[in-house]
Amino acid sequence: MERAAPVDAAGEAGHFPAAMAYDPKAIEARWQRHWLENETFRCQVDPSKPKYYVLDMFPYPSGQGLHVGHPKGYICTDAIARFKRMRGFNVLHPMGWDAFGLPAEQHAVETGTHPRITTRRNIETYRRQLQALGLSYDWSREVDTTDPKYLRWTQWIFSKLHERGLAYEAEVAVNWCPALGTVLANEEVIDGKSERGDHPVVRVPMKQWMLRITDYAERLLTDLELVDWPERIKRMQEDWIGRSEGARVHFGLPEHAGETIEVFTTRPDTLFGATYMVLAPEHPLVASLTTDEERAAVDAYVAETGRKSERLRMAEGDDKTGVFTGAYAVNPVNSERIPVWIADYVLASYGTGAIMAVPGHDERDWAFARKFELPIVEVVSGGNVSQAAYPADGTAVNSGLLDGLPTAEAKQRINDWLEEQGKGEATINYKLRDWLFSRQRYWGEPFPVLHLEDGTVKLVPDDELPVTLPELDDWTPSGEFETPLSRVPTWLETRDRETGQKAWRDPNTMPNWAGSCWYYLRFCDPGNDEAAWAPEAERYWMPVDLYVGGAEHAVLHLLYSRFWHKVLYDCGLVSTKEPFQKLLNPGMILGFAYRYYDDNLSDDPKAEARSYPSSAVRIEGETAIATPTGEEVKARWVQLDEVRFGEDGTPLHPTIEDLPLEEVTEKMSKSRGNVVSPDDVIAEFGADALRLYELFMGPLEKGAPWSTEGIPGCFRFLQRAYRLVVDEDSAGEPAQELASGAGTEAQARLTARTIAGVTEDMERIQPNTAISKLMIWAREINREAEAPREGVASFLRMLSPFAPHLAEELWRRLGEESDLALQPWPEPDASLLVEDTITLAVQVNGKRRDEVQVPADADEEAVKAAALAAENVARHVGDQTPKKVIVVPGRLVNIVL
RNA sequence: GCCCAGGUGGCGGAAUUGGUAGACGCGCUAGACUCAGAAUCUAGUGGGGGCAACCUCGUGCUGGUUCGACUCCAGUCCUGGGCACCA
């Protein structure tokens, strides 16, 4: 075959540059260009091949760019993708951008730069950084959630949800931050203040879009059985969904005919012990039940709780507060009149927002009853309710028809009774709440709906999608409760094409989870303008075989996208029940940060601050106190590259004399000054060394602090690999002399063993041990004889998932002309894996004393004899007769005296 | 408080099902090459003892099961993560 003309630097030059020291910069640039220009990793549906879909959680491209911690997962999935490709799989390995979101919008407010500009710029940076790592993405499939061609289909999926009654508008309490002019998520509110800026947050009712994820609670829970995910992630989802079995019970209100209080309880068997009831202060019946005598106290209590955030209420812990409403309810099982209280230990958001209090068998009710001197009755034997609540199972007592029944049976019996009497029923309750789906922000997907003049809400027809954002040049929040879009009448006001009515667009936008809920589906068919994806593409590629991303998305992204996926499944639009078959969470790479303290609490740049090392500072609660003076001080961080190191390696402040710094391990962040950029590491050691090091550091799922010391080791290994093929000393020589064929028997065996081992490690996603086997191969292969060409070729194939640039370069130096990345993975010669003689350890009483060489096929008697004959064994056995001799084939012999 | 994950050399980490603890790499020590350094190569490197052969202790801690335990069981301490009045 004629020499193919690869479009790359080497091809143009006609020959490779003069041989010299390993120079990653030139090699990496050459092959990155080659892969991009030839679209080496472009893939398409091919039913003749098995598929493998390996996906990274796509990033939000922030203005900071990547640090070395981010690509850990990407590098691992890339190695897997490259491995699977060589193993004959048709691999889908795409990348895209989750680009809507608050940071770009905040940046816009501060600088006046349109979020689209910032986003585009950040994407450019991220793409450049990822490409510099040599990741084998099919870049033709790149998606951007802010692209109108993408968000059109996000809106289309919202329409599907709406059509099925799963999207609705409701008035709910939200965290409104007047200073920031926006609603905040619960996670963004800490102790009643905003996380950013420490501004007060109030809970106000606002009309919001909600998604009925609770309809899918049961399936979201049970289908976790179908996926291969880390147990702790499954557990977190289970806890979040929070299924509990119990009963709903209706308590009558004699003074309010027709009204009842409904409670949820997991212990209907304790109904006879319910001696009072408690409503959440927000409960709708509070106002009507409260008697005139109690009204002032109740109103004051309701107002007081309204001011507290849920978090603060919880923080108060065991000290129970509450007030009596003056009303009484009737216990349906024994017709006793019991008082109705309100208390903030009952949460409006869980169950029915009301409870029957059984102080004998619930710790919270017990504490409350004690404080307010309410009666405590024992209805389950086993404890001593005058000392403490007894929440465990036991035998029902003082409970009429339930007396003598064990807890499980009592529950069953009372449930049947409640249903017969029409006073309640067995039910299942979930902690999961419907998903608050709107945000009062600009940089998100507009809702594809019209609010018509007649008060109805109507979906924008599919053929009019997308509804794009209007151009704005001012994103500053101004009025109360006003969204940026509500200030754009030209965009907001429109007309319904069908009825001619005046119509208004929705001024809210979707949260940034929307785009990430389905991007894995778009990757199957990203260029499709007719549909969100073609059914053939979806059926071929789905599900995602391996999904890798941070555990911080355990409940949010992963639960939301599973929900959407199930809705799409019900619509017949996807063929799998679950989107992500196997999930792995990369551990976080941390960075060393260097800390001291000073007394410049106000951050005044002109102030003369007094500085203290950490050893002179003690932490009291949240505040740091300088021990010598007793005054408050503030932590300061020294940039990583400014730290000086003393003679003994002590980190020191760059300018202040004799100020030792404290070394702590922290998440990499700008404020801690401990960010390491991949750009810098690549500039010094190359992308291959960085990739190798991040994989070699340890298992994917384990986090560790970034240490610069380890990279040279990986660089040295690559250099050794380079020298196997390239003669560094004789400039101009294209390649080392290599022995032809597989080499000596020992070399052939080493190669076979390495192939078998590396293959197995990769199947188990353990690149760290695979790399160590390659290191051993490279060290041993030419110890006694010239490296054999066939062995080197196999080695390069195996090296290519980890260090793809160097492997590809050396492959060409061997005279090969096709892409190494598309070569088949080597197969070990099975006959070489079987050793003729094996070494067995010999133990005496379980302690290793010697070892013996025996033929691999030696029978047990021969092995025993050899073991007993071993010199050091004979010494320990002496003239004793072994009680027992245990032979573990291929492993060891244990002689028991 | 509850749930989950994890504790192995100076450091990152290996150790298929209970079967030679510490692979591989870093660091360190010595040597080779060099005028010298860098780079590279070679050897050594868990603690203690011994000239050595070897002996002994050793996988957070305390027990247990077993011929044999980093691995299994019970208890306990520490670290990290999640949840936190969920009726």
Tokens of A43: 């893939």
Q: What would the pLDDT profile of A224-236 be if each residue is shown by its tens digit? A: 999 999 988 998 8
Residue among A232, A233, A235 nearest A243 (CA): A235
Q: What is the pLDDT of residue A6?
A: 33
The rounded distance, in Å, linking the Cα atoms of A279 and A289 is: 11
What is the rounded distance in angstroms from the CA atom of residue A197 to the CA atom of residue A640? 26
Name the residue closest to B21, CA to C1': A848
pLDDT of A732 higher than 50: no
Q: Which amino acid type is present at position A632?
A: E
Report the b/e string of A32-64 with b at 16+ CB within 10 A. Answer: bebbeeeebbebebeeeeebbbbbbbbbbbbee
Q: Peptide bond before A268: cis, by omega within 30 degrees of 0? A: no
The better pLDDT of the pair A463, A734 is held by A463
**Cβ-based contacts (< 7 Å) between A 344-373 and strand B:** 344-347, 350-351, 353, 355, 358, 362, 364
Listed in sequence order, the residues at least 6 apart from A375 whose beta carbon sits closer than 8 Å to its beta carbon are A275, A359, A369
Å from A896 (CA) to B64 (C1')?
A: 21
Q: Which two tokens stand for residue A818?
A: 């096709």
Q: Region A504-517: what's the mean pLDDT?
A: 92
Look up residue A427 and give its two tokens: 């039910």
CA nearest to A204, candidates A220, A233, A184, A223: A184
pLDDT at A30: 94
Who has greater pLDDT, A647 or A396?
A396
Which residues on neighbouring strands pair with residue A173, listed in sequence order? Answer: A205
Higher pLDDT among residues A48 and A182, named by residue: A48
A364 sits in which H/E element: helix A363-372
**Nearest in space to A271 (alpha carbons), one of A429, A428, A427, A407:** A407
CATH architecture for residues A717-832:
Orthogonal Bundle (1.10)
* CA–C1' A685–B30 (A): 29
Residue type, A512: N
As given in the structure block, the two tokens for residue A93 are 């390995």
Range with lowest mean pLDDT among A346-355, A395-404, A661-670, A782-791: A661-670
Residue written as token pair 């403490």: A388
Q: Give residue numbers, 518 to 577 of A, with CB < 7 Å from strand B.
A: 551-552, 555
Q: How far is the CA of A749 from the C1' of B52 (A)?
A: 35
In window 326-345 of A, residues with CB < 7 A from nucleic chain B are 344-345
Residue A19, pLDDT score = 40
Domain ranges (residues) in chain A: 47-156+515-584, 166-224+435-505, 245-429, 589-675, 717-832, 835-896
Per-residue model confidence as pLDDT tens digits over A560-581: 999 999 999 999 999 999 999 9
3-class state of residue A863 by DSSP: helix
Taking the CA of residue A783 and the C1' sugar atom of nucleotide B31, their distance in angstroms comes to: 19
Please tell me the predicted confidence (pLDDT) of residue A186.
60
Cα A95 from Cα A127, distance rounded (Å): 9
> Does the C-beta of A191 come within 7 A of strand B?
no
Structure confidence at residue A663 (pLDDT):
79
Q: Name the token pair of A560.
A: 């939301």
Q: How far is the CA of A791 from the C1' of B22 (A)?
A: 29
H-helix segments, A206-309: 217-222, 231-241, 286-289, 292-307
Please indicate whether the domains covering A166-224+435-505 and A245-429 agree at the CATH topology level: no
A728 touches strand B (CB under 7 A): no
Looking at residue A306, its pLDDT comes to: 74
Higher pLDDT, A886 or A417: A417
Both tokens of A809, joined, read 């370069």
Structure tokens, A684: 């010094």
pLDDT mean over A58-81:
92
What CATH number should be reported for the domain whose range is A245-429? Answer: 3.90.740.10
Q: Which residue in this structure is represented by tokens 């002689």?
A: A895
Helical residues (DSSP H) of A42-165, grouped into ranges: 71-86, 102-111, 115-131, 148-163
Alpha-carbon distance A144 to A186, whole Å? 27
Q: What is the model's pLDDT at position A873?
A: 83
Handedness of CA A560, A566, A571, A577 (dihedral sign): positive
Q: Which residue has the tokens 């980890």?
A: A802
pLDDT band for position A554 (50/70/90)?
Answer: confident
Tell me the per-residue pLDDT of A318-337, one tens digit each, with 9 for 90 and over.
678 899 999 999 999 999 99
Answer yes or no: is A892 CB < 7 A from strand B: yes
pLDDT tens by residue, A802-860: 999 999 999 998 889 999 999 999 999 989 888 888 888 888 888 888 888 888 888 88
Task: State pLDDT tens for residues A389-399.
Answer: 898 889 999 99
Q: Cis peptide leading into A654, omega within 30 of 0?
A: no
Q: Cβ neighbours of residue A147 under 8 Å, at least 6 residues apart?
A: none
Rounded distance in angstroms from the CA atom of residue A320 to the C1' atom of nucleotide B5: 34
Mean pLDDT of the region A647-667: 79
3-state secondary structure A434-479: CEECCECCCCCCECCEEEECCCCEEECCHHHCCCCCCCCCCCCCCC
Residue of A628, A588, A587 whose CA lies nearest to A610: A628
Kindly determine whether the C-beta of residue A126 is less than 7 Å away from any atom of nucleic acid strand B: no
Residues 6+ apart with CB under 8 A from A67: A591, A668, A675, A676, A677, A678
Beta partners for residue A505, in sequence order: A450
H helix or E strand, kind and range, residue A762:
helix A745-763
- Does residue A279 register a pLDDT over 80? yes
Judge whether residue A725 has pLDDT over 90. no
Q: How far apart are CA A478 and CA A751, in angstroms?
A: 70
Number of Cβ within a 10 Å radius of residue A154: 25
Q: b/e map of A335-372 (b: 16 or more CB within 10 Å)?
A: eeebbbbbbbbbebebbbbbbbbbbbbbebbbbbbeeb
Check whether residue A433 has its CB closer than 7 Å to nucleic acid strand B: no
pLDDT digits (tens, 9 = 90+) for A188-214: 665 566 666 667 777 777 888 999 999
CB-based contact A586:A72 (threshold 8 Å): yes
Give the tokens for residue A486. Answer: 């509500």
Q: Where are the beta strands (DSSP E) in A752-795?
A: none
More confident residue, A605 or A365: A365
Q: How far apart are the C-alpha atoms of A613 and A734, rounded to whole Å?
A: 57
A835-896 placed in CATH 3.10.20.590? yes
Token pair 């049961």: residue: A218
Fold for domain A166-224+435-505? Methionyl-trna Synthetase; domain 2 (2.170.220)
- Give how far the C-alpha of residue A478 lies from the chain's centroid of Cα atoms, to the nearest Å: 35
| CA contacts within 13 A on the Cβ side of A797 | 24
Helix, strand, coil percentages, rounded to 5, for chain A: 40, 20, 40
Residue A776: CB atoms within 10 A of its CB come to 14
Sequential DSSP letters for A724-736: HHS-SSSTT--S-
DSSP-derived secondary structure letter, A513: H
CB burial string A259-277: b at 16+ within 10 A, e below: ebbebbbebbbbbbbbbbb
* Model confidence at A894: pLDDT above 70: yes
How sure is the predictor about A10, in pLDDT bands with cuts at 50, 70 and 90? Answer: very low
For A390-426, the DSSP string reads: --S--EE-S-GGGTT-BHHHHHHHHHHHHHHHTSEEE
**Which bases along strand B come within 7 Å of a protein CB atom?**
3-5, 11-16, 19-21, 23-27, 39-42, 54-56, 67-69, 81-87
A47-156+515-584 domain in CATH 3.20.20.70? no
Using the CA of A240, give the nucleotide whose C1' is nearest.
Answer: B83
Looking across all nucleic acid strands, the nucleotide with the smallest C1' to CA distance from residue A278 is B87
Which of A141-155, A164-178, A417-431 shows the lowest per-residue confidence on average (mean pLDDT)? Answer: A164-178
For residue A859, the one-letter residue type is D
| Hits for CB < 7 Å against strand B across A residues 758-797 | 760, 766, 768-769, 771-772, 775-776, 779, 783
Which residue blocks in A139-230 are alpha helix, DSSP H?
Answer: 148-163, 217-222
CA of A661 to C1' of B32 (A): 41
Give kind and range of the element (H or E) at residue A645: strand A644-645
Our measurement of CA A844 to C1' B21, in angstroms, reads 17
pLDDT at A596: 86
A203 close to A306: Cβ distance less than 8 angstroms: yes
pLDDT at A629: 86
* Residue A3 banded pLDDT, cuts 50, 70, 90: very low
More confident residue, A623 or A277: A277
Mean model confidence pLDDT for chain A = 87
- The CA distances from residue A379 to A249, A268, A355, A389, in Å, are 18, 11, 17, 11
**In a 3-state reduction of DSSP, which class is residue A672?**
helix
